[in-house]
Structure 1
Amino acid sequence: MNGDDLREVLRREMAEATSPPPPTTAAALGAGRRALARRRVAWVCAGSTAVVLAVAGFASVAAPKGDVYQPGAGPQAIGHPEATDTKQAWPTGPDGKPQEDRTARAGSKYDQGVRLLDEVVSVVPPGYTAPQDPANQPADQRTLRTHQAQFEDRVNGVDLWSWMTSVAVAQGQEIGHLIVEVHAAGNQLPTEPCALARQFWGMRGECQVETVGAAKVGVVTKPADDNRLDQWAAYRHPDGVVVYVAQGAKLDENRPALEKLPFTVPQLAALAVDKRFHLT
């Protein structure tokens, strides 16, 4: 199993572990493949006995249902539900052929995902580090840095994309993680800041609106009943691009959690507005 496959499985696990998914536009992966992959990624249950941190390569995407947004499944986010076949062709890759699935593995969209990873690493605050995966890392160990570009849907002939990256953030032996997920303009996510925040990965919680310049950012400061992440901010840019920035004190069950989150609530809100995360 390569890195893309692993991220694909992780994202699917997180989506399936929340609420029953609504119909989606993705093609369903084989049940046998999912069962095999789940056994190989059981370690990802970070901080919840009922929820596995999944970022399944962003390979299938749940459409909004009420005020719950299911993360795309089919990476990793931090993930990425069952899907139905819409008979749509996957976007064409740089080789002139349709992609194998939702995940871009080359081309301009893939390159944007790589750039997003670099930008996330660059904002890790002083006093913390962003460790890299060791060479020849065992397949059963949690990946410390991941990125994903995913085709979400085709609306009026326009391809809609999303990107996600997850970066481990360490302080000494303690280790947590930082996740950034971006949805291109044309997405159907809400406009109101807290409604937007509460749709991230189907998680809910106590939300407050932070003001960053002229921008209004929804920040969930305390999850309701889901401990995959501790805080997350959501912002819709004027052009419709949506940015989520999330932080968690615990990376997985095998390593000590951070005693203090890397960012304060105002800092997290400012990151959601940061132009470096504005992808189109």
Structure 2
Amino acid sequence: MNEEQLREGLRSEMAGITPPPPLSTGAALGAARRTQFRRRAVWASLGSAAVVLAVAGFAAVSTPDGRLYQPAGNGPLASPDASGDTKQAWPTGPDGRPQEDRTARAGSKYEQGIHLLREAVSIVPAGFTAPEDPPGQSDPTLRTQQAQFENKVNGVDVWSYLTSVAVAQGKGTGRVIVEVHDAGNPLPTEPCALAQKFWGMRGECQVETVGATRVGVVVRPSDDDRLDQWSAYRHPDGVVVFVAQSVRLDESRPALTKLPFSVPQLAALAVDERFHLK
């Protein structure tokens, strides 16, 4: 068996495997500092040969305690090939070849992710700064983004876009997260039902009115400290926007003394046209 056959075999096996639960705090802290929106890696062996393969695109964001979480969305897309085996079906990249996993690394979808990052930086309020990673850093932690293929619905590719921006004030560093889902996603419409779908988190939700729109805002998590507050809005065309904030970026930095946005401001950001990706 050559390397390409081994790779295809492992991808086929992994297509039906549910991603493992979040890592423990101690084990994951180091990984969280090195990875933001990176693919999970799986160690596999065949006979006496050990190989390391990056398994297709489970996008994740590290949290203050070092755990990794996937954005809201669907599981891996799989379809049988001519032989009856199940294998990942990824969109075609700008080079005319199928992507190697969920993540776009070039092309229009990748540029949408970069655009979302710029817009997220632009909303950092007065009195706060948005620090940047040092030039040339291979694994950014202060400003990160990812465009991820979610599923194919009625023959149309549905994508999600996730960005995290560090927000600093004084000695403290927190963060703001924006996640956008293309129209065609299966997320609910009712404001608080939608808000409770963000990363599967629950909490005390209230409906805020922004002009003529209703936005769900979780103002206090129930028993989940990944984030402090988040808002959710589904545009009439089906595009979904989540905006979240936290006083802490990770355990290696002091936390902010206050959140960057008030609840009404957080609600308004969810309907902001800057995040209405089309």
TM range (shorter): 0.7 to 0.9
1:167 aligns to 2:153 (yes or no) = no
Distance 1:54 1:115, change over 3 A: closer
Is 1:198 aligned to 2:196, yes or no? yes
8 Å CA contact retained: 2:37, 2:146:
no
Q: How do 1:123-202 and structure 2 match up within 5 A?
A: 123-137=123-137, 143-202=141-200
Give the Cα separation in 2 of the matches to 1:269 and 1:147. Answer: 22
Preserved CA contact (<8 Å) 2:75 2:150: no
**Is 1:93 the counterpart of 2:93 in the alignment?**
yes
Shift of 1:135: 3.1
Structure 2 matches for 1:225-264, cutoff 5 A?
225-264=223-262
Q: Is the 8 A contact 1:76 1:146 kept in 2?
A: no
**Structure 2 CA distance for partners of 1:207 and 1:73, relative to 1, 3 Å:** farther
How many percent of aligned residue pairs carry the same amino acid? 64
Q: Which amino acid aligns with 1:27?
A: A
Q: How far apart in 2 are the matches of 1:131 and 1:29?
A: 38
Residue 213 of structure 1 pairs with residue 197 of structure 2: no
Q: Gapped runs of 5+ residues in structure 2?
A: 1-13, 42-55, 63-68, 80-86
Query: Would you say 1:74 and 2:74 are equivalent positions?
Result: no
- Could you tell me which amino acid in structure 1 is paired with residue 30 of structure 2? A
Contact 1:54–1:77, Cα closer than 8 Å, also in 2: yes
Q: What residue number does 2:30 align with?
A: 42
| Whole-angstrom distance in 1 between the partners of 2:114 and 2:183 | 19
Residues 161 and 199 (structure 1 numbering): CA distance in 2 closer, same or farther, change over 3 Å? Answer: same
1:269 is displaced (CA, Å) by 0.3
Q: Relative to structure 1, is the Cα distance of residues 144 and 223 closer, same or farther in structure 2, using a 3 angstrom cutoff? A: same
Once residues 127 and 28 of structure 1 are traced to their aligned partners in structure 2, the CA distance between those partners, rounded to angstroms, is 48
How many residue pairs get aligned? The number is 231
Looking at secondary structure, tell me which structure has more strand per residue. 2
Is 1:106 aligned to residue 106 of structure 2?
yes
Q: Deviations over 1:30-61 (max 9, x none)?
A: 99xx99xx96753539xxxxxxx9755599xx
CA spacing shift, 1:94–1:241, aligned 2, 3 Å = same
Q: 1:224 pairs with 214, 222, 226, which one?
A: 222
CA distances 1:61-84 after superposition (whole Å, capped 9, x unpaired): xxxxxxxxxxx9614446429857
Equivalent residues of 1:43, 1:252 under 8 A apart: no
1:50 equivalent in structure 2? none
Contact 1:163 1:181 in 2 (8 A): yes
Cα deviation for residue 137 of structure 1 reads 4.3
Secondary structure, aligned partner of 1:270? helix
**Distance in 1 between residues matched to 2:16 and 2:75, nearest whole Å:** 6
- Asked whether the 8 Å contact 2:103–2:149 carries over to 1, the reply is yes
Q: Which has the higher mean CA deviation after the structures are superposed, 78-87 or 264-273? A: 78-87
Q: What's the C-alpha RMSD, in Å, of the aligned pairs? A: 3.2
Contact 2:76/2:88 (8 A) holds in 1: no
**Unaligned segments of structure 1, at least 5 residues:** 1-25, 46-52, 60-71
CA distance in 1, matches of 2:213, 2:157: 27
Residue identity matched to 1:126: A
**Aligned letter for 1:134?**
P
